[in-house]
Amino acid sequence: MASLRNAIMTKDRPRRHGDMKRTPAKDVLPCSPSTRAPCCRSSGDVRTRVRGRFDRVDEDLLGAVVVDYKTSEITKQKEADRRVAASLQLKMYALAWREMTGRLPQRVELRFIETNVVGRHEPTEADVEQALAAVEAAADGIRARRFEATPSRNACRYCAYSQICPFTATRE
Lowest mean pLDDT among 28-37, 53-62, 149-158: 28-37
Amino acid 69: pLDDT: 96
Q: How far apart are CA 99 and CA 36, in angstroms?
A: 12
pLDDT band of 123, cuts 50, 70, 90: very high
Amino acid 43: pLDDT: 56
Amino acid 161: pLDDT: 84
pLDDT exceeds cutoff 80 at 151: yes
User: Strands 107-112, 63-70: parallel, antiparallel or unpaired by DSSP?
Assistant: parallel
pLDDT band of 33, cuts 50, 70, 90: very low
